[in-house]
Structure formats: C-alpha cells, structure tokens
C-alpha cells in the first residue's frame, strides 16, 4: 500500500500538471520578452535563475517551479497587458525552435530527428549571452544578428542537420553543445571517448562535401575551459607541451582514447586534434577537436574569438564554416585544405567489365603524389640544392624571387606642398591575383631558348633590364612617364633588374604587355595546367562579400557611401568582424602554405621536411599568384599615373600611398560622374577593388623619415601613424 506522502506526491504531480495552464504557451512567453526588448539573461537575473532555464521555459522543454513560477507568471501578465498579441497572428506550430532570438519552424532535419528518434539530443532555446564589457557591443538588433547566421548545412541531410560544429561548455555540472543558429543540445557524455561516440552517433554534426568526388567534412567539437575540466584535460598546456604542440602520449586522456580503440593522427593531441577509427564500409569515423585555450585560434587572425561566450563562438566559427569550410586547423591550413576539398585528387572511375569502380586521377587536381619543382623555384636548404656549397648565395639567375612589393621613395618638391598622405589598400589582393591565373598541375619540363608563351605557366630565365618605364604601352598607346617615380614591376623592392633573372609567367607577360620584346634563355614550363584556383577564389570572394554585407558594407555602394560605410564597420557586429579577419587570413595563409618552410623537427639543410610530402607543396603556384598580384598593382599605378600625373610615394604589398590635397581617397582618385578610371583604382568591397587604409599629414611623413631613415616605408604605418620597430636579430 502507498504511504500518505507518496499519495500526496502523486496528487501534487497532478496539480502541477493542471497548473501549466496559468502560463501562456512557450512561443507567447518568447514573444512577450522580445516585444519588451528584454534578454533572457535579464529575466534570469530578476528571477534568480540561470539564463538556460529561461531559454528552456521559452522552448517548452521545461516549466518553472515555485516560487519562481509565480514571479514568472506575474512578469508575463504585466508584459501581456503592455504588449497584447495581434489578433491576426498565425498559430504557432507544435514543433518550434528559437534560433538566436528568432521564432520559426525547426529545420527539417531537426524535426525529422524529433519525430523518428527517441531519445534524441533535445534542442534548447537560448539567446545570445550578455555582451562582455571588455568587448564593444554590437549596434545591430539581435534579430538581425541571428538572421545573418547561416542555417545548418544540408537541412535535408539527417547526418549533419545540426550544422558543421558545436561548442561544448559545462554549466552547473551539465554539458551543453552550442550549435549554429542558436540551437543547443544536451551532451550526456561523461568521458572523452563517450563525447566522440556521441558526436558521431547522435549529435548530427558535419558538413557536406564541397565537390562531387570529395568527402564530407568531419564534425568539429570546440571545447571550452569548463569542458576541458569535465573531460580530464588541462585548461592550459605546460611549457613543454606548448613547445611540442601536444599532450604527452602517457596523459590519462590519451590512454582513455587508446583503451576505447580510438586513434590520433601524427600531430597527436594538440590544439587541433583529430580522433578517428579506420573507416567501415566507406564511412569515416573521425571527430576533430578545437581547443581555444591551447592556442587553436590565433589572435592575429581570429582576434578575440577564443574568449567569446560559447554561443558567440559557435556563431563566429559556424558562419566561417558555412561560408568557407569547417576549420581544419589554422587559417593557413584551412586555406590549403579548401583547395583540395574543391579539387579532390581522385574520383571514381566508370564501371569496368565486372561493374566495379576504381579510384582514378581527378582531372584538374594536383593528384595524390607530390611532384618535384624546378631547382630555381625551391627555397634554400631544399634537397634539390644539396650539391651546392653550404654557404652559397644564389643570385637572381639561380633563384625565382616573386614576392610582394616593399618599396618607397622620397617625396618630390611638388608632393611636399600637399597636405596629406593617403593610403589605399586592395581588398583580398592575393585572392584577386589567384582569380583566372593558369597554374601548373604537374611536373615541370626544362627547355632551352624557348619562345615565350604567356599562356604557359612556368619559370623563365630572361633579361628584363631593357624595359624602360619612361615609355611604355598602356593599351594600344605609348605613354611617356617619369619612370623614376614608379617602382619596377619586376622586383619586390622596385629596383630595375640588372640582368637575367628568373620570373614567373605573369611577370614576363607584363613586360610584353608594356611593349617590350623578351627572349628567354631557358625555362621550366608546365604543359599540364589549368585554372586550379578559380573555385577557391570564388568561394572566398563570396564569403568575404557576404560577411561584409552583414557588417553594413554592400557591394553596390557609391564611392562616398562606401567610404562612409567602412568607417567603423567592425563595430556594427564584432562577431562578423572576426569572420572577415579569418577569411582574409585564409587567403594569405593558404597561398603561403604552398611554399611552407621547415618547422623545426630537427631538420638540417639538404634534408626533406614534412611539407614536401604534400601534393600541395607547390612553390611555383605561390610564385604565379604573387607575380600576378604585384603586376596587377603596378598596372593600376601606371594607369593612374598616365591619366593624372600622380605617382605613389610608397607601396607595401597591396597598399599604396599617394600625396593629396585632401584626406580622402576621393581627393586624388579620378572619378567622373561616379565612374572610376578604367583599369585604375576603384573604391568598393569586392576583391581587387580598394578601400581607405589611412591618412597622415605630409609633415608626419617627412618627420618619421628624418627620424627613422629615408628607407622607412610609409605604407607600413599609414593606418594609424604608429612607428613600431621589431628587432628580429637578423
């Protein structure tokens, strides 16, 4: 027989069930809060509860208990009196989710998951946490910020219906996984192996492949410091672990994974760890971990992302993943991986006589095996140069040097009468340089006394010292210029070549474009070639333009409106400003990785290093992109000089500085009725167009050169005028 207390408890449970009616439906609770402009955190503070509890009440996942229930009812009644519902409001669906503060139907995959599986990870409705006082608050309404958040990848794909990644955090002993779109999942896993199993079997995380022959991206789990403590991992690496970049093999967490028959890749358990088992039935079993407190998110590229609240970090990384790809490591690593994801090395063949398919080379890719570059293309210490004397210094006729500009000159008397130095910067310059560039896909072929072919990628030994910038072709016409006021387009320092030197195809082609004959002495050409980087450029361009639009800088703005929109644009949404920074770093880092140098590991000159084993170790492709970027910059400066008589006083990579009477780029860029000079600089957000980098006075420029030397490149400091010297000891 039940006791009296048990009977009372049963009656109380019935009364509690009946008492649900004194609260409005979950969707109405949310509507009332949003109508009043209150955050979940503010309500939680007033009711002395957790923000997550308020989110649960608004999603219908749980109900408040006394005494908080009575206070919550009182709050909602007061809000309902002030903000009555519109009579024509449509009824709310039973399956509803709050995605970052927006009310709407759940993604199809989430609905499907709810209807088919039981038990399943339960989404928890949560709003963005209160902005940290140490970080500028976004001026955009929360609804707009949530609207800018991409929907989960492949809504129709149940395998990854909750998006590409999740940020796992622990609050009050409960683990939550913050996904994109404001979705939050309960994480039942109590150990690291269990977390990996949960990610692969229940979390529905991942990203569909970017190319037909490619592979789906592995799910990414980001661990906060609280999550690290829950799963037995240190919140910070020791000095020895930081230098090695990983936990020791004897660490208890690594042993846990080994006992559960999970494996780690060669880079071990570090800031970007990959945990896997051999594929079964063609299905990958791999989870990637990102650990911000171990330095996974470099502050040079990800700014303050590592210290964001979990929901904000999920928004930042999720937006990047949806627009670029799921991060695979640093932005440089991701930039390189994006190339491979868009051009997988192999594909399935047509069925043979027995109906079986086989793996074969995917046309347009770099293949599975690395190819040796030309001797002139490799950096010092490469095995191809092992026969050279130890301290041999290669000259221009022995080594290909295609680098970005670092050039400056003294101001002329006329420029000294101007009041301002104005810097303009090319957006995503290296991405624009990659667009349309034909690069080699296979090994080089050595030829002597070749006829130059501008359509054939390669490295050419040719004498360009006869090219005179005082008289060049611009289009079909010859123009007279002051050649001493322009940098040479053939050398990074802007100096005129002194004799034969190695150049990439775009550099030699530009000499021909300027109206001069070229006679190569020898060359390493690549007959197997293609526009390998076009898809890479298109994806990064679209990501950049879309994210800048989120920040209020649209692609169709007039020049003056564009300059106004760029003024303080980062403050419009600091989270999206982080994404922009990461996208730009992905471009530069990806190009740089094509010629990655040794990174310690006991390497000695003449020995191979790890990066050489990659098919994507291609210094010739890097050289071609930088060559085209530099000649693109010179072409714009030449067009500008021919039309206006104005010359740059300093150029650093993709930034050029001009003397002007006013502080704005519009004070020296020749716009006519809103139209720019054809082939010259054009203000705008798209890659290859320019933005305002910064303005300083001419007196500032002359003063810092007098103090720090005439070789000082003003373009390096034009942004804020601060002169910071870093002594590298070299």
Q: At residue 69, what are phi and psi to the nearest 5 degrees?
A: -60, -45
Q: What is the pLDDT of residues 596-652, one digit of tens each?
A: 999 877 899 999 999 999 999 999 999 999 999 999 999 999 999 999 999 999 999
Percent of the chain's residues with pLDDT above 70: 86
Residue 114 sits in the same domain as residue 223: yes
What pLDDT was estimated at residue 60?
75
Task: Report CA 647 to chain centroid distance, whole Å.
Answer: 34
**At which of 294, 329, 364 does a domain end?**
329
Place of tokens 């007196």: 699
Task: Report CA 490 to chain centroid distance, whole Å.
Answer: 30
**At which of 475, 495, 530 does a domain end?**
530
The Cα 402–Cα 405 span in angstroms is: 10
Do 33 and 143 form a contact (C-beta atoms < 8 A)? Answer: no
Q: Is residue 726 part of a domain?
A: no
Residue 156 sits in the same domain as residue 240: yes
Q: Is residue 107 part of a domain?
A: yes
Place of tokens 């360009």: 464
Q: Is residue 586 part of a domain?
A: no
**At which of 514, 530, 546 does a domain end?**
530
Q: Is residue 505 part of a domain?
A: yes
Residue 154 sits in the same domain as residue 77: no
The Cα 521–Cα 461 span in angstroms is: 6
The Cα 153–Cα 134 span in angstroms is: 32
Mean pLDDT of 270-295: 91
Q: What is the dihedral of CA 315, 319, 320, 323, to 10 degrees?
A: 170
Instruction: Please name which of 654, 657, 594 lies closest in space to residue 630, comparing C-alpha atoms.
Output: 654
Residue 393 sits in the same domain as residue 513: yes
Residue 66 CB coordination number (10 Å): 9
The Cα 195–Cα 203 span in angstroms is: 10
Q: Is residue 205 part of a domain?
A: yes
Give me Rg for the CA atoms of the chain.
Answer: 30
| Alpha helix segments (H runs only) across 533-685 | 534-550, 559-566, 574-593, 619-644
Q: Is residue 125 part of a domain?
A: yes
pTM of the model: 0.80
What is the full DSSP assignment across 156-210?
T-GGGTT-SEEEEEEETTEEEEE-GGG-EEE----SHHHHHHHHHHTS---B--S
Residue 312 sits in the same domain as residue 164: yes
User: What is the CATH number for 76?
Assistant: 1.10.260
What pLDDT was estimated at residue 356?
86
Residue 82 sits in the same domain as residue 51: yes
**Pairing relationship of beta strands 96-99 and 102-105 according to DSSP bridges:** antiparallel
Q: What is the dihedral of CA 550, 553, 554, 560, to 10 degrees?
A: 170
Residue 255 sits in the same domain as residue 380: no
Give the list of residues 6+ apart from residue 187 with CB closer than 8 angstroms, or none.
121, 168, 175, 176, 177, 195, 198
Instruction: Please name which of 587, 531, 152 lies closest in space to residue 334, comparing C-alpha atoms.
Output: 587
pLDDT band of 590, cuts 50, 70, 90? very high
Residue 315 sits in the same domain as residue 448: no
Residue 461 sits in the same domain as residue 520: yes
Instruction: Please name which of 107, 110, 95, 89 lies closest in space to residue 31, comparing C-alpha atoms.
Output: 89
Q: Is residue 263 part of a domain?
A: yes
Residue 75 sits in the same domain as residue 112: no
Residue 273 sits in the same domain as residue 382: no
Instruction: Please name which of 322, 16, 14, 286 lies closest in space to residue 162, comparing C-alpha atoms.
Output: 322
Q: Is residue 695 part of a domain?
A: no
The Cα 460–Cα 11 span in angstroms is: 90
Give the list of residues 6+ apart from residue 288 with CB closer than 8 angstroms, or none.
218, 219, 220, 221, 272, 273, 274, 275, 326, 328
Residue 84 sits in the same domain as residue 145: no
Q: How many domains does the chain have?
A: 3
Q: What is the pLDDT of residues 439-479, one digit of tens each?
A: 999 999 999 999 999 999 999 999 999 999 999 998 888 99
More confident residue, 397 or 279: 397
> Domain of 73?
19-92
Q: What is the pLDDT of residues 129-171, one digit of tens each?
A: 333 333 433 334 443 444 445 554 444 355 678 999 999 999 9
């Amino acid at each position: 027989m039940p006791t009296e207390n048990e009977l009372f408890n049963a009656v109380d449970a019935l009364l509690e069930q009946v008492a649900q009616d004194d609260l409005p439906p979950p969707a109405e609770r949310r509507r009332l809060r949003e109508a009043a402009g209150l955050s979940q955190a503010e309500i939680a503070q007033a009711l002395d509860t957790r923000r997550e509890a308020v989110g649960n009440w608004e999603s219908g996942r749980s109900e408040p208990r006394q005494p908080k229930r009575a206070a919550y009812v009182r709050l909602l009644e007061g809000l309902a009196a002030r903000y009555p519902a519109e009579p024509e409001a449509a009824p709310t669906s039973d399956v509803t989710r709050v995605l970052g503060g927006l009310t709407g139907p759940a993604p199809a995959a989430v609905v499907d998951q709810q209807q088919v599986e039981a038990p399943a990870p339960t989404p928890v409705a949560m709003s963005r946490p209160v902005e940290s006082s140490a970080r500028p608050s976004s001026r955009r309404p929360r609804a707009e910020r949530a609207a800018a958040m991409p929907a989960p990848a492949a809504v129709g794909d149940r395998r990854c219906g909750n998006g590409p990644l999740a940020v796992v955090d622990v609050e009050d002993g409960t683990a939550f996984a913050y996904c994109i779109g404001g979705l939050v999942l309960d994480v039942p896993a109590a150990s690291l192996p269990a977390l990996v199993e949960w990610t692969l079997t229940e979390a529905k995380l991942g990203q569909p492949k970017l190319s037909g022959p490619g592979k789906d991206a592995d799910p990414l789990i980001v661990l906060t410091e609280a999550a690290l403590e829950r799963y037995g991992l240190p919140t910070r690496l020791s000095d020895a672990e930081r230098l090695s970049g990983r936990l020791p093999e004897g660490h208890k967490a690594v042993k846990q994974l080994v006992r559960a028959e999970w494996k780690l890749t060669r880079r071990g358990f570090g800031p970007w760890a990959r945990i896997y088992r051999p594929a079964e039935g063609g299905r990958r079993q791999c989870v990637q971990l990102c650990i911000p407190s171990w330095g996974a998110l470099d502050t040079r590229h990800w700014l303050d992302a590592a210290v964001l609240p979990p929901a904000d970090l999920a928004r930042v990384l999720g937006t990047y993943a949806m627009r670029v790809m799921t991060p695979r490591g640093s932005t440089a690593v991701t930039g390189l991986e994006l190339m491979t994801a868009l051009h997988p090395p192999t594909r399935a063949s047509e069925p043979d006589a027995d109906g079986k398919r086989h793996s074969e080379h995917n046309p347009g890719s770099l293949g599975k095996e690395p190819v040796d570059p030309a001797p002139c293309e490799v950096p010092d210490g490469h095995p191809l140069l092992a026969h050279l004397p130890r301290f041999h210094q290669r000259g221009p006729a022995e080594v290909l040097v295609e680098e970005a500009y670092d050039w400056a000159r003294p101001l002329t008397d006329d420029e000294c009468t101007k009041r301002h130095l104005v810097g303009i910067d090319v957006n995503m310059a290296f991405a624009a340089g990659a667009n349309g560039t034909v690069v080699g896909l296979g090994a080089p072929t050595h030829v002597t006394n070749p006829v130059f072919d501008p359509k054939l990628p390669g490295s050419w030994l040719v004498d360009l010292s006869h090219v005179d910038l005082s008289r060049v072709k611009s289009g079909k016409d010859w123009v007279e210029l002051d050649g001493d006021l322009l940098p040479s387009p053939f050398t990074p320092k802007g100096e005129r070549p002194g004799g034969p030197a190695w150049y990439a195809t775009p550099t030699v082609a530009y000499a021909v474009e300027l109206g001069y004959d070229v006679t190569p002495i020898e060359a390493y050409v690549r007959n197997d070639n293609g526009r390998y980087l076009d898809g890479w450029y298109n994806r990064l361009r679209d990501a950049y333009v879309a994210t800048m639009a989120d920040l209020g800088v649209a692609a169709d703005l007039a020049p003056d409106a564009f300059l106004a929109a760029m003024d303080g644009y980062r403050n419009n949404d600091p989270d999206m400003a982080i994404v922009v920074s990461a996208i730009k770093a992905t471009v530069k880092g990806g190009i740089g990785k094509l010629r990655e140098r040794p990174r310690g590991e006991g390497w000695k000159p003449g020995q191979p290093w790890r990066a050489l084993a990659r098919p994507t170790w291609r210094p010739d492709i890097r050289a071609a992109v930088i060559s085209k970027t530099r000649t693109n910059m010179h072409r714009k400066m030449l067009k500008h000089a021919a039309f206006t008589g104005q010359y740059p006083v300093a150029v650093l990579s993709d930034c050029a500085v001009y003397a002007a009477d006013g502080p704005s780029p519009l004070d020296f860029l020749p716009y006519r009725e809103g139209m720019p000079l054809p082939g010259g600089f054009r203000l705008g957000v798209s890659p290859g167009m320019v933005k305002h980098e910064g303005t300083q006075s001419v007196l500032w420029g002359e003063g810092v050169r007098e103090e720090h030397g005439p070789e000082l490149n003003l373009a390096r400091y034009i942004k804020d005028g601060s002169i910071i010297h870093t002594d590298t000891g070299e």
